[in-house]
Structure 1
Amino acid sequence: MSEVKSGLLYSKEHEWVEVLSDTKIRVGMTPFAQEQLGDIVFVELPKTGASVKADDMLGSVESVKTVSDLISPVIGTVARINDTLEESPELVNTDPYGAGWVAEIDISGKEALDGLMTADQYQAYIVSEQ
């Protein structure tokens, strides 16, 4: 079973969210999602400064099997991207909760996180998806 890290929030589109401050989050793809895709060979990152809305495309990942959209879990502005993924997209597979993060997003406040799931809720969600 895929690792679900406690202390993070999760979206139904299988992105994880780490709260860095009241106005900044870090986003990445969950192990569940990347295991479904297989080996990641390319990551299309969002542009720094881009405005994003919850449930809009944030970027995409290409695996040996398919191309899949990364979906923004929140509304905000892309503050920073993990440009290491341009040269090492496999980090999404090998270290999804660490070096494989995708972007940091400035949010207006914690209310932007409403609707995301806790680790326990996400674990139950992925069990129901299988």
Structure 2
Amino acid sequence: MTIKYTPDHEWLQLEDNGNAVVGITVHAQDALGDVVFVDLPEVGKTYAKGDVAGVVESVKAAADVYMPLDGTVTEVNEELRADPSLANSAPEGKGWFFKITVADRAQFDALMDGPDYTTFSASA
């Protein structure tokens, strides 16, 4: 499974069915601090790339979660809604935020790979 990263510090993992899992990166979680609340998008809602799809709140700040690609939300992480600390302990695992259909694979392919994101986040 391929993982890509956005300049807004979200990660996407492409699944075999063509959908993508979306969450915040370790870098984003480190910048936010302890996450205490998440507002997840509505299942079935279609978003354009760059739309605000959710909010994550920490003890330090609140930040928007942006839709990384054009697509429709197919699932949200109800476990994360019940226990926002999963975004702290496993931001790139069990702390995922939502799943989307990928409307345009070229948008996914244009995102940063791991080494590019590491370089990018080091200067962010």
- Provide the TM-score with structure 1 as the length reference: 0.90
Structure 2 runs not aligned, ≥5 long:
none
Task: Report the counterpart of residue 67 of structure 1 in structure 2.
Answer: 62
Task: Report the counterpart of residue 4 of structure 2 in structure 1.
Answer: 9
Which residue of 45, 50, 56 corresponds with 1:55? 50
Residue 22 of structure 1: how far off its partner (Å)? 5.5
Identity value in percent: 36
Question: Residues 7 and 119 of structure 1 are in contact (CA less than 8 Å); yes or no, is this contact kept in structure 2?
Answer: no
Q: Which amino acid aligns with 1:84?
A: E
Dislocated runs of 4+, deviation >3 Å = none
**Residues 80-125 of structure 1: CA deviation (Å, up to 9, x unaligned):** 0001112100000101111100000011242231431000110010
**Cα RMSD over matched residues?**
1.5
Question: Residues 77 and 107 of structure 1 are in contact (CA less than 8 Å); yes or no, is this contact kept in structure 2?
Answer: yes
After superposition, residues 35-114 of structure 1 pair within 5 angstroms as 35-114=30-109
Structure 1 runs not aligned, ≥5 long:
1-5
Question: Residues 23 and 92 of structure 2 are in contact (CA less than 8 Å); yes or no, is this contact kept in structure 1?
Answer: yes
Instruction: Indicate how the Cα distance of structure 1 residues 21 and 110 shifts in structure 2: closer, same or farther if over 3 A, else same.
Output: farther
CA distance in 2, matches of 1:117, 1:22: 21
